[in-house]
Amino acid sequence: MIATALVLLFVLIGLSIPVGAALGVLGLILDPLYSMLPLTRAMGELAWSTNNEFLLVAIPLFILLGEVLLRAGFAERMYAAMSLWLSWMPGGLMHANIGASTLFSATSGSSVATAATVGTVAIPQIRRYGYNEPLFLGSIAAGGTLGILIPPSINLVIYGVLTNSSVPKLYLAGIIPGLLMAGLFMAVIAGGCLARPGWSGHQVRASWGERFRGLVHLAPPLGIFLLVVGSIYAGLATPTEAAALGVLGALILAACFGRLTWAMLRGAVEGAMKSTAMIMLIVIAAGFLNFIMSATGLTDAITGSMSGLGLSPAWMLLIVIVFYVVLGCFMETLSMMITTIPIIAPIMIGLGYDPIWLGIVIIVLVEAALITPPVGLNLFVVQSLRKAGSMDAVIVGTLPFVLAMFFMLALLAFFPALALWLPGLFG
């Protein structure tokens, strides 16, 4: 049964069927094969119950927040300010890619949106300043992955819903690993450019006066971050209400800077609707597939086979890491989370792992899946922004950053307090 389900899943994905449709079709195939009852008749009720979750309303709101900030032009000014402060380091504007991605991640909650936003502004600088193209592109793709680790993160909301974990605690848990991950990415860039000085390109020079004047452009995203996250931890708003506050704050800022127009607003809403429709289709299809798997006994079979291995918690963690790395090469990240977490999380939590810590580990693994071929979404986003060149350059450029993610996983395994200290402090 397990082998049949896996083979069918990989065949459907291999046929280039959209992931949301592939998950739903897999459920439709497994139903008559292994169920005595027509489980598909519950599809309507499942679609309603899956979406009838107040916390999920935060998803379209966070997407809309990122769209407004992007279309209001804050991203360009933020990147320019970051370049003034970070371009003196070995690697120059590649550090600005990471810094801008970190700051934009604190407002968008989406890796794809972060990579697209920073990439649109940054990629023209490659030839202008003579940077090593693969490493520069890799820094954009890797920096974009921070969007699902640094709060407010859409994927952390999904994990919280699936495991009934506290989203505010998950947000706190993601702050230190997210900043540390950004630091590791910058260390990779600096190390590579110190070893190969030609990769750094021409240095962008700026006076201290220009740097301090540029700080004003960092204020809008920082203000939105403080509004969203601060309202949550001050007890003034739930994550969903905080997302709505963030959208309101972004609209007010856009109006203050003269960027709030009907055309901008319409484009932001349309972009948010498209992304939300894609995400919720995956959520509904994965919810239906999980129902089929549970009703036919497939979930129990997988859980039993993993538990029956009799491995220690450390070995089981290693197996989970390998599992996600391999699966991430073939499956879109959100659908991977929704289909696997209901199976993996109870096993790992039963072995004594903290659910908040486990959520951060899984998110880091999902980050790696975003920049590993053949279906790493950020790879395609960065490639789509280029005017010429093959995907190979993007893939090669991300490899050092994937190694940095594995180093981050080792740090989390040996020092769980990196993820648990802040939730324990405020909890």
The length of the chain in residues reads: 427
Two tokens, residue 197: 């000085």
Two tokens, residue 248: 């309101």
Q: What is the DSSP string of 136-198?
A: HHHHHHHHHGGGGTSSS-HHHHHHHHHHT--HHHHHHHHHHHHHHHHHHHHHHHHHHHHHSGG
> Which stretches of the chain score pLDDT less than 50?
none
The pLDDT value recorded for residue 427 is: 61
Residue 151, H or E segment: none
From CA 118, how far away is CA 208, in angstroms rounded? Answer: 24
- Nearest Cα residue to 409 out of 353, 362, 369, 342: 362
Q: What is the pLDDT of residues 105-164, one digit of tens each?
A: 777 767 777 788 788 888 888 888 788 889 999 999 998 888 888 888 888 988 998 898
The pLDDT value recorded for residue 177 is: 95
pTM: 0.85
From CA 85, how far away is CA 166, in angstroms rounded? Answer: 36
Measure the N-to-C terminal CA separation of the chain; round to a whole number of Å.
43
The pLDDT value recorded for residue 57 is: 84
The pLDDT value recorded for residue 409 is: 95
Cβ atoms within 10 A of the Cβ of 424, count?
13
Cβ atoms within 10 A of the Cβ of 321, count?
19
Question: Mean pLDDT of all residues in the chain?
Answer: 84
**Distance, CA of 325 to chain centre:** 15
Residues 6+ apart with CB under 8 A from 112: 144, 147, 377, 378, 381
The pLDDT value recorded for residue 190 is: 92
Q: What is the pLDDT of residues 297-350, one digit of tens each?
A: 777 777 777 767 777 888 899 989 988 888 877 777 777 888 888 888 888 988
